[in-house]
A = this chain, B = another copy of it.
Amino acid sequence: MKAAVWHAKRDIRVEDIPQPPDPRPDEVTVKVHWTGICGSDLHEYTAGPIFIPTETPNPLTGKVAPLVLGHEFSGEIAAAGKDVTNVKVGDLIAGDAPMHCGDCEPCKIGRYNICDSLAFVGLMGDGAFAEYVNIPSYAAFPLPEEVGTDAAALVEPIGVACNTVRRSGISLGNSVAVIGAGPIGLLHLQAAKAAGADQTFVLEIADVRKEFAKNLGATMVLDPNETDVVQAIKDNTGGLGVDVVIECVGGDECDGPTVPVGLSILRRGGRMMVAGIFEKNVEINPNELVFFEKQLWGCLSATPKDVEAAVSLLKENKIQADPMITGRIKVDDIVEKGFEELLANRHKNLKIIVTPQ
């Protein structure tokens, strides 16, 4: 079958590889329809290996590079192991990325997303930029007929936004600031609104992304290069700052001090959720936390109940995926029209989805 295989940094090859074996008793084989290119995939392309195991096989999957990338995907169940009960052959499904052990302390209390042995499909094991992929059956979520498999390629990142928003406690009437209007930021914006957020501020510097944020319902879009963001948010929240900040940028040399900025736009007693991945350390003033009893929470991936919520939100049209899909390409073109396009036109694109068909 055809697949996009990560061999090394800047070396992703579209190759003909063997189909996955028959699924194990608790696995399914998915015939892939669409797979989104995620920021993590881009990081593996430009700066990897980050998550990808290259020497020691991943303990959960036994895999080592080269491996097939791709973890935001949808498709049809092509085969199901004998113990599988939640889906059957022919079902259309969205796939979830995290795989967990089920035995460790976090798993025992349902926090599968911080499993001691957490591994991601398409990063620590073969993924979905391929005609077929094998996944644990618990990572397959049946789609209602209202949700097409193209939009369903965004179920995984929508689940991520659901985890962040659920844990943040955002509810009716809250004010929320989202830092960064990339795909993850825009999904967090929509998830916050779906959870009842009243005022929503989006901080973004790229014009195209500012437009997306407005179109997806942000109350106010603020450009830190043009506006005194702290003052603007104070002026619009009765001097208080927002209840919740969601950081969706992470940071490297090119990015700003999103954590200190986030803390400074937060009200006393407020909560800042960090969903971005960082390439270097960050300096904070702990007194900013102490004097105002602010909180800084890390957020990772999603639990199965967040992915179920994501499917419902898409079904009920409370989160829009279609406007966020800015490119649909074939796996043959994944390097040129996918990775290279995203790098060259970072701010023009949001989500590019890929089909192996």
Assess whether A114 is interfacial by the CB under 8 Å rule: yes
Which stretch of A205-213, A277-285, A331-339 is in the interface?
A277-285
**A–B Cβ pairs within 8 angstroms, 28 of them:** A105-B238, A106-B269, A111-B269, A111-B293, A113-B293, A114-B293, A167-B293, A259-B286, A274-B286, A274-B290, A276-B286, A276-B290, A277-B290, A278-B285, A278-B287, A278-B290, A282-B284, A287-B298, A288-B298, A289-B297, A289-B298, A290-B298, A290-B299, A291-B298, A292-B298, A293-B299, A293-B300, A295-B295
Assess whether A315 is interfacial by the CB under 8 Å rule: no
Q: Given known contacts A105-B240, A295-B297, is B278 in contact with A281 (CB within 8 Å)? A: no
Residue pair B277, A287 in contact (C-beta under 8 Å): yes
Contact digits for A153-171, partner B, Cβ 8 Å, 1 yes 0 no: 0000000000000010000
Q: Given known contacts A295-B295, A295-B297, is B287 in contact with A284 (CB within 8 Å)? A: no
> What's the nearest-Cβ distance from chain B to residue A89, in Å?
36
Interface residues of A in 47-79 (CB under 8 A from B): none
Residue pair A286, B268 in contact (C-beta under 8 Å): no
Residues of B within 8 A of A293 (CB): 111, 113-114, 167, 297-300
* Whole-angstrom CA separation of A33 from B285 in the bound complex: 37
- Where the two chains meet, the residues of A that have a C-beta atom closer than 8 Å to any C-beta of B are 105-106, 111, 113-114, 116, 167, 238, 240, 250-251, 259, 267-269, 274-278, 281-300
* Whole-angstrom CA separation of A88 from B306 in the bound complex: 56
* Whole-angstrom CA separation of A269 from B287 in the bound complex: 23
Dominant secondary structure of chain A at its interface with chain B:
mixed
Task: State the copy count for this chain.
Answer: 2
Residues of B within 8 A of A278 (CB): 285-287, 290
Residue pair B299, A105 in contact (C-beta under 8 Å): no
Residues of B within 8 A of A267 (CB): 105
Q: 7 shortest A-B CB distances, which residue pairs?
A: A289-B298, A290-B298, A114-B268, A296-B296, A278-B286, A295-B297, A281-B283
* Whole-angstrom CA separation of A291 from B297 in the bound complex: 11
> What's the nearest-Cβ distance from chain B to residue A336, in Å?
31
* Whole-angstrom CA separation of A267 from B115 in the bound complex: 11
* Whole-angstrom CA separation of A297 from B298 in the bound complex: 12
Residue pair B292, A295 in contact (C-beta under 8 Å): no
* Whole-angstrom CA separation of A300 from B289 in the bound complex: 9
> What's the nearest-Cβ distance from chain B to residue A272, in Å?
9
Q: Which residue of B lies closest to A239 (CB)?
A: B116
Q: Which residue of B lies closest to A247 (CB)?
A: B286
* Whole-angstrom CA separation of A115 from B149 in the bound complex: 50
Residue pair A268, B116 in contact (C-beta under 8 Å): yes
* Whole-angstrom CA separation of A281 from B240 in the bound complex: 24
Residues of B within 8 A of A113 (CB): 293
* Whole-angstrom CA separation of A211 from B114 in the bound complex: 37
